[in-house]
Amino acid sequence: MQTSVVEKLEAFFSQFPKRKFKKKEIIIHAGEMPQGVYYLHDGLVRQYTLSSKGEEAVLNIYRAPSFFPLRQLFDEVECQQYFEAMTEVHMWLAPKEAVRNFLRENPDVLMDLLARMNRGLDGLLERLSYLMAGTAYERVITEVLLYLSRFGEKKEISSKEASGIRISAKQIAIQSGLTRETVTRELAILKTKGLITFEKNMLTVPDLDKLKRELVEG
């Protein structure tokens, strides 16, 4: 997100009440009408659904700066997903009509929002393609690459630039729809091939291009 856009968003949302949520606290419940639009100032928030068996399916993870829920910003419908704080978070809550007026008056912010929504849709479609037809191995690689693209941090290993993320096998399992045991097995294969290192929930990819080729070539 461009600095100028962030500055406009901060200036606008800071006019409204600020809320604090503890880790694992539900911000929005499925089946309720959101009070307004939340602007995430710091922390992480996950958006997920529950199956009839109570199994979670994570749809998105928001990090600062971002705002949600987006569908309810434009449509008067109840939210169909849960929004939960993954860490302690601080957010501002603005009325929907005020946010809509703000976007009309600031087309640069609206264009930035549309661009980020488009990137998110591309990632979702890529994930769906592997959920429907990919192997467990491909699904795990896809989730790792998606996490790296959004939350990866650059680090140096043996004078080479690598990408790392703090994530657990359980998180990858929830995202990919696989069992934790299956994810652990596939991660072990990636480690054996030298494509990743994975210690104490810190996953590092020494060569991102090589991992991408592995997804395409198998």
Residue 55 CA to chain centroid, in angstroms? 18
Instruction: Convert the pLDDT of each residue in 32-45 to its tens digit.
Output: 999 899 999 999 99
Instruction: Convert the pLDDT of each residue in 91-133 to its tens digit.
Output: 999 999 999 999 999 999 999 888 888 877 777 777 677 666 6
Predicted local distance difference test score (pLDDT) of residue 218? 64
Instruction: Count the residues in the chain.
Output: 218
Going from the first residue of the chain to its last (218 residues), give the mean pLDDT of each consecutive group of 10, the final group possibly shorter: 87 95 95 92 90 76 89 87 94 95 94 84 73 82 84 63 81 84 94 91 88 82
- Give the integer Cα–Cα distance in Å for 117 and 107: 15
DSSP string across 43-78: SEEEEEEE-TTS-EEEEEEEESSEEE-SHHHHS---
- Give the integer Cα–Cα distance in Å for 25 and 157: 37
Tell me what the pLDDT averaged over the chain comes to. Answer: 86
Pairing of strands 26-28, 89-94: unpaired
